[in-house]
């Protein structure tokens, strides 16, 4: 039963990441995506404490999505500031998931270079977004940074999704070997 629950927990995380990647502009489906990530991570808290932390940050992302939704805040400066602030828990959610995968791979005696590389790509996309928010860049630098941010964000989501399946495979292998 534990093996099946873990399998579906990883599928929930993967489904949330995929939904978040494909439907970034739909605030209601982003809430569903964060709820899937939160539920999946909470179900895996016995594997690593990082999953519990990822679940909490995904819940914070849900709160930001609700507050920044069109029914709550009209377009304006406050909404824009909160939308940029909402990138921080999203960045942390991905980082916490990656730290959980790193812990899981270390416990299984596997290498973690892939996870650390994804960590850098995931973080760079969101950190560059936060750095370009104040409008310090000229038009040419801004267009270059926007291209880099879009590429890094998509690559980060895809790599995190692929690493979720890698961690799921390792979880099934290690849980299947237990007596």
The model's pLDDT over 86-134, given as tens digits with 9 standing for 90+, comes to 999 999 999 999 999 999 999 888 888 999 999 999 999 889 888 887 7
Our count of domains for the chain comes to: 1
Q: What is the per-residue pLDDT for 10?
A: 93
pTM, rounded to two decimals: 0.88
Residue predicted with more confidence, 77 or 98: 98
For residue 47, give the nearest of 167, 179, 177, 176 by alpha carbon: 167
User: In the prediction, which pLDDT does 145 show?
Assistant: 86
Q: What is the predicted pLDDT for the residue at 117? A: 93
Looking at residue 14, what is its pLDDT? 95
Sequence-distant (6+) residues with CB within 8 A of 178 are none
Q: Which residue has the tokens 């977004």?
A: 129
Radius of gyration of the chain (CA): 17
| Cβ–Cβ under 8 Å, residues 73 and 101 | no
For the chain, percent of residues with pLDDT exceeding 70? 100
How far, in Å, CA of 134 to CA of 129, rounded? Answer: 10
| Residue 80: per-residue pLDDT | 85
Burial of 136 (0-12, 13-18, 19+ CB in 10 A): exposed
Residue of 176 and 36 predicted with greater confidence: 36
Domain carrying residue 69: 2-177
């Amino acid at each position: 039963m534990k093996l099946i629950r873990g399998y579906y927990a990883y599928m929930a995380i993967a489904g949330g990441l995929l939904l978040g990647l494909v439907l970034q502009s739909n605030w209601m489906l982003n809430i569903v995506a964060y709820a899937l990530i939160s539920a999946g991570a909470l179900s895996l808290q016995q594997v690593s404490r990082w999953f519990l932390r990822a679940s909490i940050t995904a819940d914070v992302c849900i709160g930001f999505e609700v507050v920044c939704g069109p029914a709550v805040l009209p377009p304006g400066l406050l909404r824009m500031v909160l939308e940029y602030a909402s990138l921080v828990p999203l960045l942390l959610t991905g980082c916490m998931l990656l730290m959980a995968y790193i812990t899981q791979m270390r416990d299984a005696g596997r290498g973690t270079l892939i996870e650390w590389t994804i960590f850098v790509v995931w973080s760079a996309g969101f950190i560059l977004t936060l750095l370009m928010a104040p409008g310090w860049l000229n038009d040419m630098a801004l267009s270059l940074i926007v291209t880099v941010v879009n590429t890094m964000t998509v690559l980060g989501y895809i790599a995190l999704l692929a690493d979720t399946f890698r961690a799921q495979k390792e979880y099934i292998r290690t849980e299947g070997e237990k007596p």
